[in-house]
Amino acid sequence: MSETLVSIWTDANTQWVLIGTLLLGLASGLIGSFALLKKQSLIGDAMAHAALPGICIAFLIHGAKSMSWFIIGAALSGLLATFFIEKIIKLSRIKEDTSIGLVLSVFFGFGIVLLTYINHQNNGNQSGIDDFIFGQAASLVGTDVKLISAVAVLLIIITVILFKELKLLTFDPQFAQGIGLPTSFLNGLLMTLIVGVVVIGLQAVGVILMSAMLITPAIAARYWTERLDHMVIIAGAIGAFSGVFGTLLSTTTKGMPTGPLIIVAATIIFLISMVFAPKRGLLLKAIRQSRLRKQVAREQVLQTLYDFTEQEYKQYKARNGFHEQQMIKKRPISNHMLQKILHSLEKEELVRRTGDALWCLTEKGLIEAYHITLRNRLMEVYLMNEMNYAHFNIRQDQSMDLLQLPEKVLTELQQLLKQYGREPLVLPENINSGKRSYHRYASLGGK
Amino acid sequence: MSYEGWILLTGSLVGISCGIVGCFLILRKMAMLADAISHTVLLGIVGAYLISNSLEGIYMLIGAAIVGILTAFFVQLLHSSGVQSDAAIGVVFTSLFAVGVILLSLFAGKVHLDTDHALMGEITFIPWDILEINGINLGPKAVWMLGAVLVFNLIIIFLFYKEIKISSFDPDMAVALGIPVLLIHYLLMGMLSLTTVASFDGVGAILVVAMLIVPGATAYLLTDKLSVMLIISAIVGVLSAFAGYFIATIFNVSISGSMAVAAGVIFAITFVFSPTHGLLSRWLARKRLQNKSA
Amino acid sequence: MNPVTVENVTVAYHRKPVLQEVSFSVPEGKLIGIIGPNGAGKSTLIKAILGLVPRASGDVYIYGKPYKQQRKLVGYVPQRGSVDWDFPTNALDVVLMGRYGHIGWFKRPSKKDVEFALSCLEKVGMKEYANRQISQLSGGQQQRVFLARALAQDATVYFMDEPFVGVDAATEKAIISLLNELKAQGKTVLVVHHDLQTVKEYFDWVLLLNMRKIAIGPTEETFTMENLQKTYGGRLTFLNQQHAIINQQ
C-alpha cells in the first residue's frame, strides 16, 4: 500500500492524472452551480449519456482511439441531444421530464449498439471505449490528460470572466434581456460549458455518473452559503477534492472504476453538508426549530390565557382560572408540552395555579402576555395588509421584526387593529378599572 | 420453442410490462424517477446477492423492490428538506448506483454479474437458464419471472384502475374523495421496481429506461384515451423488441441497445406522422386554418 | 342542522399564518360567496375544509359530522389550472370521476353512472362534447366539465374554487343558472369569488375573509362599505372605485 502511494507521488503519469481530475472537479463544481440554479441538472445527465454514440462514431471515423476526436464527437452528440429534447417539448405535448428520459435512453441505446459493433469489428480487441461507461482514470495517458486539463482550464476561465453575466442569466433571465445582455447567446454558452465539462469528464468519471459531478458538489455547496460567488468556489473545491480522492483510491485498488468512487466521495461531502452545515444544515436547523417551538409554545400559552382573560373581561366576569383542556382546545398543543411550559411559567411567576388544572395569569404575566398578544395581532394586521407594507420586508415568521417598523407605520397598524376590533383590551395597569385605553406600543417597552 | 422464440418472447414481455407501467410515469411527470430507479435497482440486486448469497430471482425481486422504493423515498425526503426535485433525483440515483458499481467491482469474482451485464443485460443467455421442476423443462426462468410481474401489474392496474387514473389526473380531487393518493404513489413505485428488476436480465438496468419511457411517449402522441394509450404502449414495446432483435442479428450488435434504438425510431416516426398530435398533421391543420382565414 | 360548520380553523404554511381562527356556519340552500383580497386564504379555506391542506387546529363539520364521514355529501370544483389538461381522457371520463366516491373500490362505473354523467354534461350544455378530448376544449368548456363532474358527485354541499376565472360570457351565464338550480334544489354552494362587481348579483350570502373571518351574513347586510374596508384594509383607492358600483346596484 505504502509502495503504491509512493509510486503515485513519483510517477509522472499519475501526477498528471491527479492534476487532470482536480481541474475537472473544479470545473464541474463551478459550472454545475449554474446548471443547478438554472434547474438543468438532469440535462447534464442526458448530455453525458448521449455522448456515448458520439464517442463511438468518432472512433469509427478516425479508426483509432484519440481523445481530441472523442471530445468533438461527444460534444456534438451531446448538443444534438439537447436540441432534440428542446424540440420535442416545444413541438409536442410531451413534457420536459419525459423528453429528457426519452432522448437520453435512445441515444444511450444507440451508443451501446455502436459499442458492441466496434468490439465485434475489432475481434475483441480492446478499443478502450468501454472505459467511458464507468470511467477509468488510470487508463488516461499523458497527452489525454493534458488535453483534458487544458479544456478544463479554458472552461474555468470563461466561467470566471463571464461570472457576472451568467449570474444574472440564472437569476433573472428576463431582466438580463431587458438590460441588453445577449441572453440566447449566454444560454447557448452555458449549454456549451455544460457539454464541455461533461465530455472531458467522461473518461475519468464515465457517462452514467458524470451528471453527479455537476449536481452533487453544487448542491452540497448550497448548504454552506447564500452567496453565488461563495457557492461556486465551494462547489469547485468539493468537486476538486472528490476528483482527487476518487482517483487516488481507484489507482490503489485493482479493477475499481474511478467514477463511482469520485461520486461516493462527493456524496459523502454532500451528506455531511446536509446535516452539519451551519444555518441550512439539518442538525442546527432541528436544534433551532426545537428552541423556536418551545418559544412559540410559551407565547402560545400566554396568549391563550390572555385571550380567555380578555373574553371574561368583555363580559365583566370575575377571573378565576382557566382549564388546561380549554387551553388545548383553543390552540392545540401536546399535554406534555403544556405541562412543561406551565411549570416553567409558574417558576417565572407569570402564571398562577388556581385549582386542579386551572390556571390564570399573574399581574406580571399579564404584562408579558399583553405584549405578546399585541405583537402577534399587529403582525396579523400587517399580514392582512401585506401589499401596502411589502417594502418593509418583514420576515413572516419573525413578529419581532415588527419593532423595526417606522413609528408612523406602527401607528397606522394600531389604527387598523382598532378598526378590526382586535386591539388587546385588558391593560395591565388598569385591569380593575374597566377603562379601555390604548398606549402607543413603543412606550410600553415593547423593545 | 426455438431459441429465437424464447428471446423474442422475453423481449416482448419486457416491452409490455415496461410499456404499461411507463404510461403512468409519463402522465404523472415522473419519467426521471423511472430513470433513477432503473439505475438504483443495481444496488438492490448486488445487495440481495451479498446478503442471500444466491442468484435466485425472488431475492433479486425483493432487493430491487426495497431499493426502488427507498429511492423514491429518499428523493421525496431530500425534496422536502429543500433540495429542488431534479437535483434530488440526480443526487440519489447517482450515489446509490455508484455504491452498487463499487460493490460489484469489489466482489466481481464471486458474482456472475458484471458491469457490462448490468448495463446491457444478456438476453442471449436467457434461453439457457431453464426453470426445471421434477426434471420437467418449463422454459427460461426469466420468462416466468417477467410473466409473473406482468400478471401482477395487470391485476393491480385492473383492480385500481380508476383510483390510479384519478390520482394521476387530479390528485386534489382524489384526496377529497378519500382515495389514499400516497399509497397509490408507492404502489406504482413498487410496480416500477419489480418491472425493472424483472427486465434487468433481459435488457440491462439502463436500457429499461428506454422501454419504460419511449413506448409510453409514443402512445401519448397517438391517442386521447388512457386505456388505449396503455394498449398502444404495450404494442410499441413488443414492436420495438421484435425490430430490435432483427436489427441486432443483422448487424451482430447488442440486442438490448437495438431495441432501444428501434423504440426511438418508432417514436420519431410517430412524432412526425401521428394523425392527431404529429408534426405533419399539426402543420397541415395550421396551413388549412391560414388558407381559410386568408 | 347547518350544512357547513367551521370551528376555529387555523392554517399555517411553515410559520406564516394563512388562516387564523376562522369560525362560521352557513345556512342550508344558499349561494355563498367567499370574498377577499389576493392571498387572503380563500382557496386555502376550501382546501382546509376538504382536508387538502393540513389544519393547525380547528374542526369542520358537514351536517354535524366530521368531513371524513360525510364525503359523499360534498362536491368540489377545483381551480381549472390545477390539473394537466393534456391528460389522455375525454370529457365524459372526467365527469365520471365524480362518481368514483359512490362507486367504491374494485368496481367499474355502471351504465347508470354513465347515464348520470351524461345528464350532468347536458345540464352544463356540454353533452355533444362528451367524447371530446379535454385538451381540445376551450377554457370555459373545461370549467363546465369540472362543474358537471361536481354535479356527478350528486352532493348536497358544493365548494367551488374561482369557477368564473377566465371563462367566456356564455359559460358565466351557464354557471349562474346552474348555481341557481342547485339552490332551488335546496343545496348549499360556497364559491370563492374575487369580482366585487358581481357579488350582489350572484350571491345570497357573503363570507368576507382576510386571514380572519371579517364578516358573514346575507349579502345586503354584510356586503357593506365598512366591512369591505375591513377586508381590503388600506387599499382605499381601489375601494373608492368600487364604491360607486356598490351604490349603483
Q: Domains, chain A, ranges and CATH?
A: 2-279 (1.10.3470.10), 284-433 (1.10.10)
Spatial distance between the Cα atoms of B33 and B35, rounded to a whole number of angstroms? 5
Beta strands in A52-103 (DSSP E): none
Give the residue with greater pLDDT, A373 vs B202.
A373
CA pair distance A333, A339, nearest whole angstrom:
10
pLDDT at position A439? 37
- Give the model's confidence band at A437: pLDDT under 50 very low, under 70 low, under 90 confident, else very high: very low
Which residue type occupies C179?
L
Question: Residue B254 half-sphere exposure, CB side, CA atoms within 13 Å?
Answer: 28
Asked whether A108 and A49 are in contact (CB, 8 A), the reply is yes
Q: Which of A93, A330, A384 sits opposite C86 (nearest CB)?
A: A93
| pLDDT at C119 (0 to 100) | 94
pLDDT confidence of residue B50: 85
Read off the pLDDT of residues A397-409 as tens digits, 9 standing for 90 and up: 555 566 677 777 7
Query: Rounded to an integer, what distance in angstroms lies between the CA atom of residue C64 and that of residue C48?
Result: 17
For A447, residues 6+ apart whose C-beta sits below 8 A from its C-beta are: A403
Q: Copy the grid coordinates of residue B197.
A: 428488476
- Domains of chain B, residue spans: 3-206
pTM, to two decimals: 0.85
- Residue B9 confidence (pLDDT) above 60: yes
Interface contact flag, C37 A387, Cβ < 8 Å: yes
Closest chain C residue to the Cα of A92, Cα to Cα:
C86
Residues 6 or more apart in contact with residue A128 via CB below 8 angstroms? A65, A139
Which of A383, A387, A416 is nearest residue C17 as measured by Cβ atoms? Answer: A383
Beta-carbon contacts below 8 Å between A and C:
46
A428 or A290, which is more confident: A290
Residues of B whose CB is below 8 A from A113: 247-248, 251, 253-254, 257-258, 261
Task: Please report where in the chains the cell 388598569 appears, as a residue.
Answer: A430
Structure confidence at residue A442 as a pLDDT band (50, 70, 90): very low
Q: What is the pLDDT of residue A5?
A: 57
pLDDT (mean) for A305-321: 77
Does the CB of C5 have a partner CB in chain B at under 8 Å? no
CA pair distance B85, B166, nearest whole angstrom: 23
Give the mutation candidate from A57, A85, A106, A209 for the B interface (greatest B CB count, under 10 A). Answer: A106
Residues C223 and C215: their CA atoms lie apart, in Å, by 9
Cα A246 to chain center, whole Å? 25
User: Is the pLDDT score of A257 beyond 50?
Assistant: yes
Q: Which amino acid is at A369?
A: A
C-alpha cell at B135: 426434471
What is the SS3 assignment for C24?
strand
Residue C119 touches chain B, beta carbons under 8 Å: no
Inter-chain CB proximity C100 and B179 less than 8 Å: yes
Which residue has cell 395550421?
A: B286
Query: From C50, which residue of chain B is nearest by alpha-carbon distance?
Result: B176
Mean pLDDT of B231-236: 97
Question: Each residue of C222-239: b (16+ CB within 10 Å) or e?
Answer: bbeeebbbbbbbbbeeeb
Alpha carbon distance B160, B153 (integer Å)? 11
d(C-alpha A336, C-alpha A282), whole Å? 25
Contacts for A104 with CB less than 8 Å, ≥ 6 apart? A45, A46, A49, A50, A81, B35, B209
Mean pLDDT of A261-281: 91
**The three cell numbers locating residue B164:** 390510479
Q: Measured between CA atoms, how close is B114 to chain C, in angstroms? A: 41
Residue ranges of domains in chain C, CATH in brackets = 4-247 (3.40.50.300)
**Widest distance between CA atoms in chain A:** 103
Q: What local confidence, expressed as pLDDT, does residue A333 receive?
A: 83
ipTM field: 0.92
Residue A193's DSSP bridge partners are none
Q: If pLDDT is split at 50, 70 and 90, which confidence band does B216 have?
A: very high
Whether A422 has a pLDDT exceeding 90, the answer reads no
Neighbours of chain C (3+ CB pairs under 8 A): A, B
* Confidence at C42, pLDDT banded by 50, 70, 90: very high
The rounded percent of chain A whose pLDDT value lies above 90 is: 29
Report strand pairing: C205-210 vs C212-218. antiparallel
How do C31-35 and C188-192 pair as beta strands? Answer: parallel
SS3 A315: coil
Q: How many CA atoms lie within 13 A of C43 on its CB side?
A: 13
Specify the pLDDT at position C205. Answer: 94
Top residue of A37, A43, A92, A132 to mutate, by most chain B CBs within 10 Å, is A92
Query: What is the signed CA dihedral for B249, B251, B256, B259, rounded to 10 degrees?
Result: -90
pLDDT higher than threshold 70 for residue A432: no
Interface touch A215/B94, C-beta < 8 Å: yes
pLDDT, chain A, mean:
83
Whether pLDDT at C105 is above 80 = yes
Averaged over C70-79, what is the pLDDT? 92
Q: Using one digit for the tens of pLDDT, what is the confidence trace for C186-224?
A: 999 999 998 888 899 999 999 999 888 989 999 999 998
Structure confidence at residue B108 (pLDDT)? 64
The CATH T-level fold of domain B3-206 is: ABC transporter involved in vitamin B12 uptake, BtuC (1.10.3470)
| Least confident among A76-80, A320-324, B256-260, C186-190 | A320-324
- B207–A108 CB contact, under 8 Å: yes
Note which residues in 37-56 of chain C have CB less than 8 A from chain B.
47, 50-52
pLDDT at A445 over 70: no
Chain C contact set for B172 (CB, 8 A): 47, 52, 76, 78, 82
